[in-house]
Amino acid sequence: MLGTDIAIDLGTYAIKVYVEGKGMVVNEPAVVAVRATTDEVLAIGSKAFEMLGRTSDKVKVIHPLTMGVISNFELARYMVNYYIQQLGDSKIMHTHIMPRAVVSLPCQITGVERRAIVNSVSRARVRRVYSIDEPVAAAMGAGVDVANPHGSLVIDVGAGATDMGVISLGGLSIARSIKTAGFAFDQAIIRYVRNKYDLIIGDRMAESCKVAAGGVMERAEPLTCRIKGRDADTGLPAWVDVTSEELVTPMLDPAVDIARVLQEMLEKTPPELLGDIYVDGIVMTGGSAKLYGLSQYIADKVKMPVHVAEDSDICVALGAGKAIKYMDDAENKEYGVINPLSAVY
């Protein structure tokens, strides 16, 4: 029945749900607030995100996924279940039919981590789970034709992990995953401000400063960002104005890590595919792909053009949504059909 199949991008930073025929219907922070004593869930998504760093010791705000993999299975399952139920209640889906779901998975996770993500979705009123590798989903979401025998390189820079892969004929020819991504840039700012100004700041402050003035290259017009936090010596509230120029050095470290893994992957890429990539360039997706200067820095390092995809932060979810139409082929295992879905559970 049309409109019942869904795609889920279960990320470290956000959970996104795509419904066939409707498009993206959920894009919420992947955060859950629970009562510390009883583990009773108090808030999910945006409401829980607003509590981040602002709660009493009676409330814990938890990211069920860290570094792209599940760290709290029960809360991850609860969160997925909550959003799928919301869809049923809002008449977007036909409630009497349990949907099938395409789930995007980081490309180099262990079998146990893979199973945890699949289980958390399959226990949430989903009758069948199909997996797709994150770089393949990101490429499809960015408009790359993944089915042809032509090499495409995609780097998906999320919040907890960066997945990159060379895609040809609907699958990954070679892939790498690194736990350096958006959060690593936030941590770099937190450490820098602590070391230089003796100012202790939280994750949300660091993130807003990264968006406002952060970058891995100097800007023509320097920007300034006011950072508020706690003075490490006095314990009193304090603030400093930080310029975009001084943030470049600390924020370069994570960028160097990403570029190094990319160079290593390119060295092992088959020459024919490498030739294709040189012609087309690299496609960057993920929320952190928009970080100022990151695409240019990577382009300079590997001497290839790098394009940041449109709507880069939702490419994985859009691509997983586009893969819904391959579900029946994955069941039938038809000969000669190139299928981007990697497994059926």
**Average pLDDT in the 88-96 region?**
61
pTM of the model: 0.91
Q: Do the first three CATH levels of 6-139+316-344 and 182-247 match, i.e. the same topology?
A: no
| CA proximity to 70, closest of 129, 114, 124 | 114
What is the per-residue DSSP string for 100-149?
EEEEEE-TT--HHHHHHHHHHHHTTT-SEEEEEEHHHHHHHHTT--TTSS
Q: With contact defined as beta carbons under 8 Å apart, do 59 and 36 qualify?
A: yes
Q: Is the pLDDT of residue 92 over 60?
A: no
As a whole number of angstroms, the distance between CA 329 and CA 316 comes to 21
Q: How confident is the model at residue 1 (pLDDT cuts 50, 70, 90)?
A: very low
Query: CATH assignment of 182-247, given 3.90.1170.50, 1.10.10.10, 3.40.190.10, 3.90.640.10?
Result: 3.90.640.10
The alpha-helical segments, DSSP class H, found in the chain are 46-51, 73-89, 111-122, 134-141, 182-197, 203-213, 244-267, 271-280, 294-302, 315-322, 327-332
Give 3-state DSSP helix, strand, coil % of the chain, rounded to 5: 40, 30, 30
Q: How confident is the model at residue 2 (pLDDT cuts 50, 70, 90)?
A: very low
| CA proximity to 6, closest of 320, 330, 328 | 320
**Average pLDDT in the 147-168 region?**
93
Least confident of 13-27, 113-127, 294-308: 113-127
As a whole number of angstroms, the distance between CA 92 and CA 72 comes to 28
pLDDT of residue 158: 93
Q: What secondary structure letter does DSSP report for 332?
A: H
pLDDT of residue 333: 65
Distance, C-alpha 75 to centroid of its chain:
18
Kind and range of the H or E element at 308? strand 306-308
Q: How confident is the model at residue 217 (pLDDT cuts 50, 70, 90)?
A: very high
Q: Is the pLDDT of residue 335 over 90?
A: no
Q: With contact defined as beta carbons under 8 Å apart, do 177 and 109 qualify?
A: yes
pLDDT of residue 67: 82
286: left (phi over 0), alpha (psi -120 to 50) or beta: left
Q: Render pLDDT for 46-90 as a digit per residue (tens, 0 to 9).
A: 999 998 878 888 999 999 998 878 999 999 999 999 998 888 766
Q: How confident is the model at residue 321 (pLDDT cuts 50, 70, 90)?
A: very high
Selected residue with higher pLDDT from 309 and 170 = 309
Q: Is the pLDDT of residue 345 over 90?
A: no
Task: Give the class (CATH, top level) of 6-139+316-344.
Answer: alpha beta
pLDDT above 90 as % of the chain: 72
Please name the CATH architecture into which domain 145-180+251-313 falls.
Answer: 2-Layer Sandwich (3.30)
**Average pLDDT in the 154-160 region?**
94
Q: Is the pLDDT of residue 13 over 70?
A: yes
Domain boundaries, the chain: 6-139+316-344, 145-180+251-313, 182-247
As a whole number of angstroms, the distance between CA 85 and CA 171 comes to 32
Q: Render pLDDT for 258-287 as a digit per residue (tens, 0 to 9).
A: 999 999 999 999 999 999 999 999 999 999
